[in-house]
Every structure is written in structure tokens, then in C-alpha cells.
A and B are shown apart, each in its own frame.
Chain A
């Protein structure tokens, strides 16, 4: 316990770092995932921008990236990170790796959420002359909003999970904090404190997500 009090400032720094990593990953990975998901949905045979090659490539890519364990992915993505964010280590590289991995994971979730929109409403929109772009913005996304919010809330938890691995390539955050000050110094209280904070964080976000989704569903 004393050790924890002594580590207070590192603890809060780690918390802020985790939030920072997760927030940026949510923005980049969230957007990337939205694009991948829309791409999968729209290009699927029978859908409004049906395009078999695009669909097949995206589908294979998603199926290829998703099963890679993240701790391996983050290391494997280092060369690419060096090209894109200029460094293979630290928070920027971690955010990059998480965003890329998340794009594919989220893409699948977005695709599945979009599938809940009945084809009939898209047909109705087409029948009044709406083009693909308008259908995406005014029909597809609003109609799938509830499930999408719940999907992204679920994604947040996965991102927190991924962010704890950032320490592996020299990034910070609660995972690194628990590892360095808790696990390696045989101080379980420190580890538990990190765990507790993550649980609280996840719960808060889950509540927020549920609340927003309820508003979207109006139920």
C-alpha cells in the first residue's frame, strides 16, 4: 500500500497515457474500421456498390489480420510504424499498431452492424432517387446507429486491452505501470490498483455507451 502511495504520480501519468493511447486509437482505428466496414458492406455482391474484387480483397485482409495475436502484431508492425509515424517504439508506434489492428477488427463489427439494416429501407431510398453517398449518410448509418454505438463501446474495451501491451515496445500506460512496478517488484497491490482502475474505466464507458445506444434506439 505504501508503495502505491509512493507511486501516485507515476500511476496518474500511466492512467493519462492509457487514456491518450486509447482515445487516439479509437479515433484512427474507429475511422479506419468504419471505412473497412462500409467497404465490406457496400462491395458485397447484391449491395449498392457491389464490387467482387474489392470485397474479396477486403475480406481476405480482415480475415488475415484479425487472428494475429496483438502482442505479435505490435512487434511485426514496427517497420511499418517507422515509415508512417517515424518511429518503431513508444506511444506513437503503439497507437499506430493498435489503430491498424483495430481497423480490421472494428471493420468486421461495423459490417455486421450494417447488416442489421433491412435491405428494404435501402431499396425505398433508391426508389426515391437517393444515390449511394446519400444512402450511406442518411439511411445506413442512422438506421444502424444503435448497434454501432454498442459495437464501438465493445471496441473500447478491446482497445484498453490492446493498449496495455504498449509497454512491450516502450510505450507507457497502465499495463506498463502494472508490469514495471507491480509484477517485477513483487507488489501485487500495485497491480491490483491498475486492474481496478481499468475496471472502473471500462464500466464508465460501458454505461455511457449503453445510455447513448438507448437514446439511439429510443427505448
Chain B
């Protein structure tokens, strides 16, 4: 843990204009990123934000136009294509559309990277066997991809990506083509890959619950830039940017949206505040004691508690009833204990 396995410094990727006379497309704009061994690093952003381009820079499927990309201590920006091949054996990749070879059986697909790596037939057979067991498809070795369900195909994709025992796995929207149930199975499998083999995983998604389920760190991308990053718990419980807050809002329950707030305000004419509780660092009883001490009446009108990586955080929205001075006094003291946002 702690050792940096992927490091991007001031990396940009500019595509030439797609139409004659058009302007170049800046897909990645001066991005810094540091991924440590054992991380499950989530990258989230809206369509076109540059997520796919960013991960494809890491295994050099796409070449950067500026900046430095160091993988396993080796600078790969500017390396010629043929020198990249051995580096790629150390990075597995899985795809939204699975990208399995239809002309090969499941076993043949998993063996493919081993053939490329020049492993002996015996070695390949053993490793394929092992991986089929690991992903739970031992009975499908001789099946062809078009005979499998989406979830099974992705498990083959994962087995193939792990064949050469890489210590980095890139997952580009690996669950976006799957239903929620299957998504969970695949995410659970990825989590096992991370925990049992110590594989560092970089997952791209536009679904926040994927991040919530398996990521330890997250970077939020917007128009080619990383606009926010950090531990998943910190970003979820206390997003700093509007874009991050919007993503967080899709999974985190407990904060009323504008519409809900309008309805609440109609019903509760007094002042409305939202208190955020992170972890166990805030003593809720102490917070409520402050209101009582100032004689401020309060009523919980909205709220919810979430849990990320076993750490709880939550939001409670209160309608306050008292004169302005008491409310101000109470809020001033509460602000020393936790984060307060007042609805306006």
C-alpha cells in the first residue's frame, strides 16, 4: 500500500479537428492523477468528460499530446508502440461491450493474452483453468461468447484481463451494459480481484452507485479536467464542487432538492437548516442540546443516513421555530460542532 503505480503529471490529449476547418478537441486538459497500489480508483463524469480517453492514456491505447505518464515507475509518454507491449501485459482492461473474440471459446478468449505473452501450452491450460474457477465459469469453458449472458461475458472479460496476472486493472464502464443485479455481481467480483490479488483497479463510470459500492478514491471529471478528487467518503459526505454535488445527489439521500425544498418551505414558514453529520465525529445529542439551550424549537422535516466503506454520514433538515436572535445564537454554537447549511 502507498506505493504510486500510476502517475499522471499535467497530461493533455488534443485530438485533431474532426472536420476541415474545425477546432481541435481538447479531450484531456492538464490532468494530474496519482493512483496508489491497492486503490480502487473511481473516475466519474458526464458523457464526453474525457473518462475513456484518460484511462486509455494509461495503457497507451491513446497517446498523450503533453505531460508525463509514469506506470510502474516507467515513463510511457512518447515510447514507441512496440516498446509498449510488455508494459501492457502488466495492465488488464475490461470494456463496456466486453469485446470478446467471437471466433474463440471462453477458454480460448482467456488464453489469448497468455498466447501473446508467449506462455507454453501447459501453462496456459493451467492458468485458464484457475481463472475459470475464480470467475465461476468452469462449466462454460467450451462455450462461445454469443452463448453467454452479459454478466457471464463480463466475467470472461475479467478472467481474460487477469490472465497475465497484471497488477493494474482498467475498467471502462464495465457494468453499464448490465442490469442492476448483474452489476452487483460483477462489482463484487472486481472487489474480490482487488482484495484477494491486491490488484489496483481504475473504474470509469457515470453511475455514482458503482463508485459508492467499490471505490476507495474518486476523481470527478468535467470537460477534460479533474475538478475534484479524494477519498470516496470525503467527496460523498462533503462535495466541494457543484458537479460533484450533483453526482453525489444521485445516490446520497437526505438532502432535499430544490423542488422538495419549495414544498417544505410552504409547510414550514420558519427558518430551515440542513445539518451534516460525518462519521461519529459529531455528537448529535450535543447538537440538539444547543437548540434546546437557546429555547429554539425544532422539527426534523427531511433526512437520511448513508454509509460509505462502513463509515456513516448523513444529513438532517430541521425547521426551526424561535425569534431570530435565539436562532442565530444557537446556529453559531452548532456551527462549531458540525456543518450547517441554511436554505434560502
Contacts and interface: CB of A to CB of B under 8 A. Distances in A.
Main SS at interface, chain A:
helix
Nearest to B144: A218
Given A128-B88, A129-B86, A120 B95 contact: yes
A129 B87 CA distance: 8
B75 to A, nearest CB: 18
B103 A142 contact: yes
A175 to B, nearest CB: 38
Contacts of A134: 116
Nearest to A143: B103
A123 B93 CA distance: 10
Contact of B85 (A131, A138, A142, A145): A131
B103 A126 contact: no
Contact of A139 (B82, B101, B160): B101
Interface in B77-109: 82, 84-89, 91-93, 95, 97-104
A139 B82 CA distance: 18
B93 A124 contact: yes
A143 B101 contact: yes
Interface string A49-86: 00000000000000000000000000000000000000
A24 B342 CA distance: 85
Contact of A126 (B61, B98, B101, B160): B61
B117 interface: yes
Contact of A120 (B82, B88, B99): B99
Contact of B97 (A118, A125, A126): A118
A129 B92 CA distance: 10
Contacts of A118: 97, 99
B101 A121 contact: yes
Contacts, number: 67
Chain B, interface residues (CB within 8 Å), range: 20 to 34
B223 to A, nearest CB: 23
Contacts of B163: 128
A131 B82 CA distance: 7
Contacts of A138: 112, 115
A129 B93 contact: no
A185 interface: no
Of residues A118, A124, A126, A145, which shows the largest number of chain B Cβ atoms within 10 Å of its Cβ?
Answer: A124
Contacts of A125: 112, 116
A4 interface: no
B164 interface: yes
Chain A, interface residues (CB within 8 Å), range: 20 to 34
B59 interface: yes
B171 to A, nearest CB: 12
A216 B92 CA distance: 29
Contact of B89 (A128, A142, A143): A128
Contact of A129 (B113, B160, B170): B113
Contacts of A126: 61, 88
A143 B113 contact: no
A114 B195 CA distance: 40
A205 to B, nearest CB: 24
Interface in B140-191: 144, 160, 163-164, 170
A143 B113 CA distance: 17
A127 interface: yes
A121 to B, nearest CB: 5
24 contacts: A120-B98, A121-B102, A123-B99, A124-B99, A124-B100, A125-B112, A125-B116, A126-B61, A127-B59, A127-B61, A127-B88, A127-B91, A128-B93, A128-B116, A128-B117, A129-B86, A129-B89, A129-B116, A130-B85, A134-B116, A138-B115, A142-B103, A143-B101, A145-B103
Interface of A: 118, 120-121, 123-131, 134, 138-139, 142-143, 145, 216, 218
9 tightest A-B CB contacts, nearest first: A128-B113, A120-B99, A129-B85, A142-B103, A124-B99, A129-B88, A127-B93, A130-B116, A121-B99
Given A128-B112, A129-B84, A131-B85, 18 more contacts: A120-B95, A120-B97, A120-B99, A121-B100, A121-B101, A123-B99, A124-B95, A124-B99, A125-B112, A126-B61, A128-B89, A128-B116, A128-B164, A130-B116, A131-B82, A138-B112, A216-B103, A218-B144
